[in-house]
Amino acid sequence: MKRKLIYSAGMLMLLGSPIFAQTPGGGGTDLHLPFAYLAMGLAAGLCGLGQGKATAAAAEAMARNPGAAAGIRFALIIGLALIESLALYTLFVSYIAK
């Protein structure tokens, strides 16, 4: 596994080296927009995974202790709002990058 990780990191460095070969002010491509889209996709995907894990854990906790369902639900809603705010902040930054 470690060998595969080192190999892929080396390949990424080799493939990325032509980016630094251009002259300053040489009319290169602007990479802000593709990286903004990549960041938004990554943030949205990871937020979805985090929300799924949080919801599953809250449902399991409510099933184990029905008496604490109100407190668990409150913590779940606050947690989901904070998780979703990450995706909204990333969306805001991606619009600024345009």
pLDDT digits (tens, 9 = 90+) for 70-96: 999 999 999 999 998 988 888 888 888
Task: Confirm whether 88 is domain-assigned.
Answer: yes
Task: Confirm whether 22 is domain-assigned.
Answer: no
Number of domains in the chain: 1
Task: Confirm whether 1 is domain-assigned.
Answer: no
Please enumerate in sequence order all residues whose Cβ is within 8 A of that of 73, keeping only pairs 6 or more positions apart, or say none. 58, 62
Which pTM value belongs to this model? 0.61
Checking if the pLDDT of 19 tops 60, the result is yes
Q: Which pLDDT does position 1 carry in this prediction?
A: 80
